[in-house]
Amino acid sequence: MENLDIVVLRTLRDWRQAGQRALLATVIRTWGSSPRPVGSIMALCETGAVVGSVSGGCIEDDLIYQYTKGEAAGSLLQGPPVNVKYGISADEAHRFGLPCGGTLELLLEFNPDAGALDALIAQLEQGQLMLRTTDLATGQVTLSPSAAPSALTLNAAQLVNSFGPEYRMLLIGAGQMTEYLATMALFNGFAVTVCDPREEYRGAWSVAGVSVSSEMPDDLVQSFKPDRRSCVIALTHDPKLDDLALLEALNTEAFYIGAIGSRRNNEARHQRMIEHFEQTADSLARLRGPIGIYIGSKTPAEIAVSIMAEVLAVKNNVPLPRDMDVAHAKNAQQTPPNDPGAASCFIQR
């Protein structure tokens, strides 16, 4: 599943290139609780078709009625951007399905230029982070590249929204757990690449929409060129495949780099890298392991859930409590005397 913003923009472009009237709605302010964060977008076609979302559905329904059937339908023809607010009163918040106290404000842009949309999409598809600036008086749009993601900004004259390329996930190893994790990543808008030079694993791959490579993992990391919207996760338990790829990833700006394994395996990995690859504790500080949040997971599916949750937390800049970190949580538990601390191929910890 593609990044939702790109899907919205591409669909809106196609409508406009086909000569259809349409609007772009952007969440520009929220007060209290709101279903969607600031910067969220949706597009509405004159036919009533909608892509993207700004709420749980009720506001979308109102926009469809107002701008395709109601008195405001003619405004889809022309005009500068307009602001609309939802949830100003308790009754209205209830009507539109907003949480108690929730209010949000939208900016509606009518008939965005198809050429500007096409230019924006082309840059995003090439991996360029872009700023889209809308003049509030005229609706005219200008585009400019950006070096880093930024929050939406709004003043009396213009709206500036940041659009980035897809988040990417590179998974090393094509085993069963990788299939679960890849599926979850796709549904969360990541473009997923799986690398495994072992035919016996790669040949059984069954998840559609994933790029599968037979290259050696360290070579693929180099060509993958992880950036600040990328994560690299090693899942093979095989140092010959994992270690060099992880070291390559540590030389990039990837926001998440980690490897599966027990605490003992993680300690052994660090020791190997220090002894054989001239690494230090500081140079390995970004290497996560054991990966995932602690939910007592044992099966491949549950472990994949815990890993995906941690990836999303890091992506969203949410610090995880220490009692959810696998290493700290496991260290806090009393290890049974007959537990050798080793992990089977299915046990993450």
Report the predicted TM-score, pTM, of the whole model to 2 decimal places.
0.71
For residue 346, the one-letter residue type is F
Q: So what's the pLDDT on residue 343?
A: 38
Q: DSSP E strands: which ranges in 111-177?
A: 130-135, 141-145, 153-154, 158-163, 167-172
C-beta atoms surrounding 291 within 10 Å: 24
DSSP 281-339: TTTTTTEE-S-SB-S---SHHHHHHHHHHHHHHHHTT-PPPGGGBHHHHHHHSPPPTT-
- What spatial distance separates the first Cα and last Cα of the chain, rounded to whole Å? 30
Task: State the Cα angle at 151 between 149 and 157, rounded to 5°.
Answer: 120
Q: So what's the pLDDT on residue 334?
A: 47
Helix spans in the chain (H): 4-17, 58-68, 90-95, 114-125, 176-187, 199-202, 217-224, 239-250, 263-276, 300-315, 326-332
Kindly tell me the burial class for residue 271, based on how many C-beta atoms sit within 10 Å of its own C-beta (0-12, 13-18, 19 or more): exposed
For residue 309, the one-letter residue type is A
Are residues 241 and 171 in contact, defined by beta-carbon separation less than 8 angstroms?
A: no
Q: So what's the pLDDT on residue 219?
A: 96
Q: So what's the pLDDT on residue 298?
A: 87
User: What is the C-alpha R_g of the chain?
Assistant: 23
Beta bridge partners, 132, equal: 143, 161
Q: So what's the pLDDT on residue 89?
A: 60
Q: So what's the pLDDT on residue 242?
A: 95
Kindly state the DSSP code that residue 99 receives in the 8-state scheme.
P
Among 349, 303, 300, 298, which residue's Cα sits nearest to residue 326? 349
Q: So what's the pLDDT on residue 166?
A: 80
pLDDT (tens digit per residue) in 33-61: 666 789 999 999 999 999 999 887 788 88
Are residues 55 and 35 in contact, defined by beta-carbon separation less than 8 angstroms?
A: yes
Upstream peptide bond of 290 is cis (omega within 30 degrees of 0) = yes
Domains delineated in the chain: 4-117 (no CATH), 167-332 (3.40.50.720)
pLDDT (tens digit per residue) in 306-324: 999 999 999 988 888 766 6
Q: So what's the pLDDT on residue 342?
A: 39
Q: So what's the pLDDT on residue 279?
A: 94
Kindly state the DSSP code that residue 98 receives in the 8-state scheme.
P
Q: So what's the pLDDT on residue 341?
A: 41
Among 184, 76, 206, which residue's Cα sits nearest to residue 139? 76
Q: So what's the pLDDT on residue 333?
A: 56
Kindly tell me the burial class for residue 54, based on how many C-beta atoms sit within 10 Å of its own C-beta (0-12, 13-18, 19 or more): buried
Stretches where the chain sits below pLDDT 70 are 1-2, 32-35, 70-77, 88-102, 322-349
